[in-house]
Structure 1
Amino acid sequence: MSAKLRAIRPMNFPDLMPSAANDFGQKPVAKWIAPTSLMVDGTYQRDLSERSIRLIRRTIETFRWNRYKPPIVVQTGPATLHVIDGQHTAIIAATLKIPEILILIVGADSVDERARAFVGHNLDRIKVTPFDIYRALLASGDPDAVDVDNVCKRAGVRIRLISPSSAIAEGDTAALGLVRRLVKKRGVIPARKVLQCLVKAKRAPITGAEILAAERIICEERTDIDLDVLTAAIRVEGAEGLAKAHVRAKSEGQAIWREVANRWLRRIDRSDAA
């Protein structure tokens, strides 16, 4: 068995009183039906927001059955089916003219019970983080994710979640979004130079402001800069310089990364003038 595969095992929670099997309610029933036969109860269901419309548009272009999650539905009459969770999926299927979709029919006789079920489906779930999505894209061989991974490995950067209690090493960063944007916008070689400069400067962790500041200097303002000189300036400034940049940027209403870049450049210019 692969080291990354985990078998499903029961967990022991001696402090909990589990629900009894006879309290679980009716088992869900799977059924294939026309998506246009489903109804949405506006008493507890939200209207479609702009974000919902964007999700629907995006999924219409990328729909695959291996990404499909059956809508959760209740039967409120002999031929009436109300969607508790998954109205977007039903709308997408209807728009794609898919004649039948798989649904799961659950028991919820009253509007109150259906509303509680709706809340449960939307609250009792673990939200997928950008880190989870990145790891999944990397495992799928997504070219952009692979580029990011290769750049980080060559630069000595480790993308990870960082909490106040985390042990942080040089090159650690939680700025996944900025690293992905950097690689996409600048390309793998300039992105590696930016990140490697910060790693060699022993930044721990590498912050988003530092990534943006190094990118602006290396890729736009001083494209011919000696990276060793910039690295030395960043190392001398260190965490203290970053903290001072935060204070000044806040007092002057300026972007933090801009003040960080200014501090680094001022230090370099002073050294050149000496």
Structure 2
Amino acid sequence: MSSQLRAIKPMTAPDLTPATEFGPKPRAIWVAPTSLMVDGTYQRDLSERSVRLIRRTIETFRWNRYKPPIAVQMGPATLHVIDGQHTAIIAATLKIPEILIVVVGADTVDERARAFVGHNSDRIKVTPFDIYRALLASGDADAVDVDNVCRRAGVRIRHISPSSAIAEGDTAALGLVRGLVKRRGVIPARKVLQCLVRAKRAPITGAEILAADRIICEERKDIDLDALTAAIRVEGTDGLVKAIGKAKTEGRPIWRELANRWLRRIDRSHAT
């Protein structure tokens, strides 16, 4: 992939009143992870999801993925973690003797709680699309397979909002496409996606991917792909909307009702 480096530049925001008091500067120090404390007044216990994340990271820890925990000084020898307790737990489990932390100023419980909220809310969430692009840039084999399949099938993975201009082959169903490639392999996955692209679906929905996958890879492995493409194209968005309505009424998956509609149309055309 080509380099897309860009310099950091100040933002022009005439409608804002910039902060002028920043408080004391943070300082970076190295400490034993087991020396850090967690204040249960405003920090929750570990959830099941947190435990799963910690367990996974224990097996994959690398310094180049390390993000320093944020702590506040509470007396000469006490540091309270306000962000990054998972990292500290992982380091302690791996018996890493010292980790880099950033110490910030927050003298009262109220200030520490507000700092905790700020560190855990004033951030841009990394989306699955961001992660996929990063994996692709890193040369990750699975991401490269997905990219190759999509390119050859004519699919473009992208974020889609209500105001987006949508072209044939666009899809936001990143997780389903990745799962399709991993589960079926590159050639069957390309057949599934190519069928939907040739049917001029815009956007390609998750239900359509699941329906085409089930037909092509399980239920009708010998199906004429041109016939399936034609059926999907004729059914179009109107067929999708009707499938959604019937699926909700009868309590079945949308993809199942959609696959049934496509197959009925093919069977009727063969019967005439």
Number of matched pairs: 271
Write the distance in 2 (CA, Å) between the matches of 1:174 and 1:81: 44
Q: 179, 186, 189: which is aligned to 1:188?
A: 186
Q: 134, 152, 155: which is aligned to 1:154?
A: 152
Deviation at 1:6, TM superposition (A): 1.0
Q: TM-score, normalised by structure 1?
A: 0.98
Matches within 5 A, 1:54-93: 54-93=52-91
| CA distances 1:56-80 after superposition (whole Å, capped 9, x unpaired) | 1000000000000000010010111
Q: 96, 99, 105: which is aligned to 2:97?
A: 99
Return the letter of the residue paired with 2:112.
R
Secondary structure, counterpart of 1:77 in structure 2: coil
| CA distances 1:21-57 after superposition (whole Å, capped 9, x unpaired) | xx10010111001001100000011101111100110
Write the distance in 1 (CA, Å) between the matches of 2:160 and 2:96: 44
Write the distance in 2 (CA, Å) between the matches of 1:7 and 1:119: 30
Deviation at 1:3, TM superposition (A): 5.6
Q: Residue 14 of structure 2 aligns with which residue?
A: 14
Write the distance in 2 (CA, Å) between the matches of 1:62 and 1:3: 27
Q: TM-score, normalised by structure 2?
A: 0.99
| CA distances 1:121-150 after superposition (whole Å, capped 9, x unpaired) | 000000000000000000000000000000
Q: Residue 176 of structure 2 aligns with which residue?
A: 178
Q: Which runs of 4+ in 1 moved over 6 A?
A: none
Gaps (5+ residues) in structure 2? none
Matches within 5 A, 1:34-53: 34-53=32-51
Gaps (5+ residues) in structure 1? none
Return the letter of the residue paired with 2:239.
G
Write the distance in 2 (CA, Å) between the matches of 1:248 and 1:236: 18
* Identity rate, percent: 85
Matches within 5 A, 1:1-274: 4-20=4-20, 23-274=21-272
